[in-house]
Structure 1
Amino acid sequence: TFYGLVAGFLEAGETLEECVEREVFEETGLKVKNITYFSNQPWPYPAD
């Protein structure tokens, strides 16, 4: 069994909730609502 997490980047002008909704749909095909912010994982660019 293999498990993975949904991940992505915030687009310009997008709220965190909109980003979560879009990324989950893009990667799983599921539509989510009632999103509550819990935490995040920073992924800095290699040049930073």
Structure 2
Amino acid sequence: MSGRSSLQVNRLGLVTPSLQGVAHTLASLLNASFQELAFSQMSTLAFLNLV
């Protein structure tokens, strides 16, 4: 089973993402925002060094 698209059907027949899938999504979102933040800081420092 793929961890990314793991959906579970509960007793009510509702499809809910599993906790593993939610945790994976949150982790990738956090990772992406941290990378974006680090990149913007690096480009700001590079810009300041050029000026």
More strand by share: 2
TM over 0.5: no
More helix by share: 2
The TM-score normalised by the length of structure 1 is: 0.32
